[in-house]
Amino acid sequence: MHYIAFNPRQPLEAADSLSDAEAAMPVPGPRDLLVAVRAAGVNPLDLKVRAGLVGVPEAVQSLGWDSAGIVTAVGSEVQWFEPGQAVYYAGSFDRSGAFAQYHLVDERLAGRMPAGLDFAQAAALPLAALTAWQLLFERFALEPGKRTAQGSLLVLGGAGGVGSLLLQLARQLTGLTVIATASRPDSAAWCSDMGAHHVIDHGRPLLLQLAALGLAPVTHVAALSHTAQHMPALVELMAPHGKLGVIDDHAHFDAAPLKSKSISLHWEMVFTRPLHGTPDMQAQQHILGKVARLLEHGVLRTTLQRRIDGISAAALRSALQDLEQGGAVGKTVLVAQRSGWTVSQRNDRCTCQRQADTGHIGPGRRHAVNQPQPAQRGGDIDRAIGGVDAPAGRRVQSEQPDKYQQAHGRRQQQPGAALVAQP
């Protein structure tokens, strides 16, 4: 199979910093899904791992921790998925990433792909959605769907992938007054579209801008980038007993200034569950299920802004160079090419559900996303965030007859063997 190898010892512009390579087909472990990758999202994490700023095991051969594709085989102990189903997921960076033709992911970390989205639109979401959901509803202990007044949330760096989902979730599922920071007109407009009540400029004094808006001290802050640089201002603008959530990386972090206001510090690291094999790993599957339903009900929208045809070294280098320059809004996704077509040109998914967007977007073209819907309330949200996708111990069934399965058939699963889609 094809994959994109990376060399952390070379600068990104070097020819061998990223290269197209071949490897044997991955073999699924007991809880693994083997996924034919149809699209993979680009994240700041890819830059950090490639540059050696975030350590990964030697066995990690490829980048890419945002993916959507079709399950082609499952391990012997898989309970929730079967070949032919479409999934989306972030996975874990202690395993090779999804910039590859095929990819392995633990089923507990994967969710069914949202109906009505194509693979690129879905691949833009998992890592950011998981990070944003866990920060809001686990670290900050807010209750999703409880929309009574709960204070305020400042999102430092609101226009990126995580910020875009955090703004939507906070606006739609909580009663917080949502404030984003952005430094350019286009990124400020994006934050407003994502749901921010107010947008202020993080290049100017934050407290003065909040005061000019007549806003009370902030109760919750999600610091997504350059936290140390803004730390004095954040402490100044936060209310006593406030909550500070941090996702960016630091060699050293001085939390002492938080003490006088009894501000609690909350780290959010999206890969904690898979890296440490926590008993609640499957919570990520459930979160992705809730996010899928919110997307299907029109409560959330994809954050895809740019798609590039081809999962190749050249395409990834171009995407990472743009990301390295900073200032991007939304997400960039690489889309697999197969037999002369791109996934976005297909008129169905493996579950035969019609795609919302079937138009081809050429290399490097910006993707025209739908305009945000008005804030949803009541039944749609309650139905979307309630429950899980399927009862324990049962496989998720396709909603309609599966063309992939009809065309290829399916081998019988033997005890201890993987279930495989027949070639």
Q: Which pLDDT does position 354 carry in this prediction?
A: 29
User: Which is the CATH superfamily of the domain at 2-125+276-420?
Assistant: Medium-chain alcohol dehydrogenases, catalytic domain (3.90.180.10)
Residue 366 and residue 361: Cα distance in Å, rounded? 8
The residue-averaged pLDDT of 119-123 equals 98
Structure tokens at 421: 């889609």
Assess whether pLDDT exceeds 60 at residue 74.
yes
The residue-averaged pLDDT of 366-387 equals 54
Assess whether pLDDT exceeds 70 at residue 304.
yes
Assess whether pLDDT exceeds 90 at residue 66.
yes
Residue 139 and residue 242: Cα distance in Å, rounded? 12
Q: Which pLDDT does position 379 carry in this prediction?
A: 63
Assess whether pLDDT exceeds 50 at residue 265.
yes
Assess whether pLDDT exceeds 70 at residue 390.
no
The residue-averaged pLDDT of 31-48 equals 96
Which residue in this structure is represented by tokens 């070949």?
Answer: 83
Assess whether pLDDT exceeds 70 at residue 228.
yes
What fold does the segment set 129-270 form as a domain?
Rossmann fold (3.40.50)
Residues 6+ apart with CB under 8 A from 117: 295, 302, 355, 356
Beta strand ranges found along 289-416 (DSSP E): 304-309, 331-335, 337-338, 341-342
Q: Which pLDDT does position 353 carry in this prediction?
A: 33
The residue-averaged pLDDT of 360-385 equals 49
Q: Which pLDDT does position 366 carry in this prediction?
A: 40
Domain parsing of the chain, residue ranges: 2-125+276-420, 129-270
The residue-averaged pLDDT of 186-213 equals 96
Assess whether pLDDT exceeds 90 at residue 385.
no
Q: Which pLDDT does position 420 carry in this prediction?
A: 52
Burial of 186 from C-beta contacts in 10 A (0-12 / 13-18 / 19+): exposed
Against a cut of 0.75, is the pTM above it?
yes
Q: Mean pLDDT score of the chain, rounded to an integer?
A: 85
